[in-house]
Structure 1
Amino acid sequence: MTHRLTEANLLEVWEGGLGGTAAARSLLLASLAAPAGEDVADLPLSTLNSLLLELRRGAFGDALPCTTDCPACGDSLDVSVAAAELRPPPGSTEGGVDGLLPVTATLTTGGVTVTFRALTGGDVRAVDPAAPRARRTLLRRCVVDVSPPPADDVPDEILEHVAGRLAELDPGADTVVALTCPQCAHRWEAALDVADQVWAEVCGYAHRLMHEVHSLARAYGWSEADVLAISPQRRQFYLEASAG
């Protein structure tokens, strides 16, 4: 890996993601863990998730703390998920950080043969989720070829068949966590948006870091660069000393 998330670049990354869409932030974060020159927008979603998990592991550790509510009894659960549990199986997709585009597949329905590929981060970024028929627009981007060509556009029912095959084409595109409620023993799978999780942690750390910069600048007259040049352990000492 040629890049990683550190205190030295975290504020810049946080500032760069402000005002952007969730999809744009996902690509921004994934690019930090990708080899130099890799266009992460062309990678399938499972590969992006793997990059995000690697970035998160290097910056904040392997365990992801999550909070959710049991859909059966409403009890709140605090769980910790290891990054390894969320990674797709090795070799489950032909895309990846080696620069290959997502593998294609075909299906035949109603006498029509459709060739399609997995969704990429660039696809998600290009489609406004609030736009009319956003789901159709996103699925249409997956279609590589239709034979025989339709008179108009690809019918919705064919696109729904494509949607039903995307999970097997790109395992790991959707990350889920298997949970059991300790109160009522209900079992279910909860979706986890890795990009949102990492971005929330980046925001939290950025805010804490800026508060530290503010406190030490006020106490000692240091610049932001001066504060960030100090290790977290020494910085904590100066924070405690200035508060006392």
Structure 2
Amino acid sequence: MKSIKEITVALKSADEWQDWMKDIAEDERVSVQKAWHTWQKKQEKKRQLLQEHQAKVAFDLSYGGIDTLIAGVDEAGRGPLAGPVVTAAVILPTSCEALVGLNDSKQLSKDKRNAFATIIKEHAISYFIHFQPPQQIDALNIYEATKQSMKESVESLTRKPHVVLVDAMTLPIAIPQDSIIKGDAKSLAIAAASILAKTARDDYMEQLDIDFPMYGFAQHAGYGTKQHLKALEEYGPTIHHRKTFEPIKSMFE
């Protein structure tokens, strides 16, 4: 009979069912059953992530065959008081199993987002990230500025997509498109764009924090937290703040 330690190590290294596991399943030792149930939960989670991945792939493929270039488009940073709104457009290869587990950027930890961003850039057929500065946001309004940024992202792709899937927005482009509510939960391409936009913006705000440490940009990414509002009262707005957003608008008035 194998020791509990041997069984635990074996289960941790096993990625799929093997014949020797039948004995483990029938082993009545409490610690063995605990390790066995942990392994089963891990496998169920993997199956669930694979099913979700396949559903996202199938959704994208519903817009064309395996040779159709489908671009997903999403944004990050429409709501903050400071910093750019960042958009991304991504064309992925069909299936792209390296991205199993990819989801809406808000559902993933920072480490997982960064890891997925690297994988997306390695596997993407083409991608582009665009930064729309606060000055343009103030000049156009946040909705129009985001739309124009998304347009720039799509038109800057090195490969022209056959179809563009956009998260909850319609773009002024001469390419067939579809606006999808909660698209990052339905489309693998949009989820990938969500990750690239979010990680790029977070990196930008962390760099901005180095130049303006008193505002705490690395902590809140420009959103209107108590820390941020207190800093605005004490130091006033910077050139990176959106002058048409309250309470900054009132400060300038």
Q: Is the shorter-chain TM-score for this pair beyond 0.5, marking a shared fold?
A: no
Q: Which has the higher contact order (CA 8 A, sep 6+)?
A: 2
- Select the structure that is richer in strand: 1
TM-score between both structures, scaled by the size of structure 2: 0.25
- Select the structure that is richer in helix: 2
TM-score between both structures, scaled by the size of structure 1: 0.26
